[in-house]
Structure 1
Amino acid sequence: MVIPIRGLASQNSWAFATIGLISLNFVIFFFQLHIGQEAALKLFWQGGAIPAKLSQVKLFGSGQSLKLAATMFTSLFLHAGWVHLLGNMLFLWVFGEALEGELGHWRFLGFYLFCGFFSLLIHSLAASKLSAPIIGASGAIAGVLGAHLIRFPQAPVQTLVYLLVKVKIIAIPAYVWLGFWLLLQFYGLRQGGPVAWFAHLGGFFTGLLGVFLFLPDASSGRGQKTARRPKNRRRR
């Protein structure tokens, strides 16, 4: 068993946006637990992204169309259970901090929502007849992974490795981790199941190609510092 536990730290400042997103997801999940299973299920249907309905949204549509379009953002903050939530938040923390340090807090937040939106758009186009709600932050986080791969491919990822009775922490290059993750998505897509594989892949390639739209001006010198010095980590 291998679990990523720490990625490249930001060289610029604390990852306020990453921490804020993680905190907000936990707050909403605790709210789901508070209102109970039946009410939470209703919340999923109201706030989740439903491809069959989204495929009918018009660009200049009614108020109902705007509400449906809004679910492409609200769905990013709903999770079906502890495993779903913790897995997503772990990957956001491990791979999000360095990227936020490069983009800046507000650009990173915009990039996160940008990837989440297009991940669901791609999934809705690929599975336009699906009438079940899609929930979870994985599409947006997949975009973070794609951007991390293109910006910090050699960055060390501290990884907990459990073999029989031995536990070790080793550094694995980001490109190895993310390449393995990408292969799992294609394998999952082939196998099918309830996971929104198209959202994962759509988010990943959106982040891979779209991160350049969110980079600060080259004249500021920001972003290159961390990318050029992946081993100069600031531990906290």
Structure 2
Amino acid sequence: MVIPVHDVNPVRRTPWVTYALLAANILVFLFTPGLAGSVTGEGSLAQLCHLQAFLDQYAAVPRELIHHRMPQVVPTGETGLGPQGPGCVVGPPGYDKSPELSVLTAMFLHGGWLHLLGNMLFLWIFGNNVEDRLGHVRFLLFYLVCGYAAAYVFALANSGSADPLIGASGAIAGVLGAYLVLYPRARVWVLVPFLIFLPLRLPAWIVLGLWFVLQAVYSSGGGVSQAGTVAYLAHVAGFVAGMLIAWPLRPGTPPPPEPRGALFGRRARPGW
């Protein structure tokens, strides 16, 4: 797996929506109970119970999305002593939850620092150019549509799951799909782990195409949605949605600048 660090594709206007999404995701994470103070996302039993209750209220749950009904009992955020020892107390929900709105709130929740930083890295690198092509308002709508498409496709495939689905990955996968359609020849600097991290400049169609293939392969083994695991099927659905939405804009998209300098250790030739 390659790690993108920068693309050679300047923008014409400031990507305010991308910046706002980055800030919103980071701020929500910092105020998510039990997570921001821990690098690993682990904590005390009280923190974990509080986090479990928070996610149950604000995360998207496939069973709720498909059947549109709340469970009879949910985590309360309190700890107690049960037959098998200390644990999280459950009880009737003390709140009203809209499954449809939970997809929106779930897009800004993350299960740990690595989950957050990985998503924000991809949004930072590829979001600005897609926003530049779509415009601010259309980009925001596009981002949300891809996030919803990813969540509902995953929920349809896992309609009996009560595990929370969180993260901006589905929406950001849509950004990657759009970038692949609009700027397939744009150059992306990546780090390739091979004994050490080797810097290479690769075309976007290789970087993002490889990413999509890996997600598709992983999803064929069955997606999972718990915090700390990866809903690969949601990534695939978001990516395809992004490609389909961006496809009509492809003919009018200005090409990225011609690459200059070394490529794969050689001087780039015209046409690369």
TM-score normalised by L of structure 2: 0.73
2:258 partner letter: K
Q: 1:105 to 1:131 in 2, by over 3 A?
A: same
- After TM superposition, give the deviation of residue 169 of structure 1 in Å: 2.6
Q: Which residue of 2 aligns with 1:207?
A: 242
Q: Which has the larger radius of gyration?
A: 2
Q: Which stretch shifts more, 180-189 or 131-140?
A: 180-189
Q: 1:193 to 1:118 in 2, by over 3 A?
A: closer
2:207 partner letter: W
Indicate whether 1:38 and 2:49 are aligned.
yes
CA distance in 1, matches of 2:247, 2:213: 24
Q: Which residue of 1 aligns with 2:25?
A: 25
Q: Which residue of 1 aligns with 2:87?
A: none
1:51 partner letter: P
Indicate whether 1:118 and 2:129 are aligned.
no
Indicate whether 1:98 and 2:109 are aligned.
no
- After TM superposition, give the deviation of residue 104 of structure 1 in Å: 1.1
What is the aligned length? 219
Identity %: 41
- After TM superposition, give the deviation of residue 162 of structure 1 in Å: 4.2
Equivalent residue in structure 1 for 2:212, among 152, 168, 182: 182
Q: Deviations over 1:21-78 (max 9, x none)?
A: 11111101111136944323222111111111111239xxxxx997111011110000
- After TM superposition, give the deviation of residue 108 of structure 1 in Å: 0.8
CA distance in 2, matches of 1:56, 1:191: 25
Q: Which stretch shifts more, 184-193 or 140-149?
A: 184-193
TM superposition outliers: structure 1 runs of 4+ over 6 Å: none
Assess if the C-alpha contact under 8 Å between 1:8 and 1:97 holds in 2: no
Assess if the C-alpha contact under 8 Å between 1:8 and 1:94 holds in 2: no
- The RMSD of aligned alpha carbons is 2.6
Q: 1:123 to 1:13 in 2, by over 3 A?
A: same
Q: Which residue of 2 aligns with 1:224?
A: 253
1:178 partner letter: L
Q: 1:10 to 1:37 in 2, by over 3 A?
A: farther
| Structure 1 unaligned regions, length at least 5 | 59-63
Q: Which residue of 2 aligns with 1:53?
A: 64
CA distance in 2, matches of 1:30, 1:65: 24
CA distance in 2, matches of 1:50, 1:206: 21
TM-score normalised by L of structure 1: 0.83
- After TM superposition, give the deviation of residue 179 of structure 1 in Å: 1.1
Assess if the C-alpha contact under 8 Å between 1:57 and 1:65 holds in 2: no
Q: 1:160 to 1:113 in 2, by over 3 A?
A: same
CA distance in 1, matches of 2:16, 2:172: 16
SS of 1:7's equivalent?
Answer: strand
Assess if the C-alpha contact under 8 Å between 2:59 and 2:165 holds in 1: yes
CA distance in 1, matches of 2:141, 2:36: 30
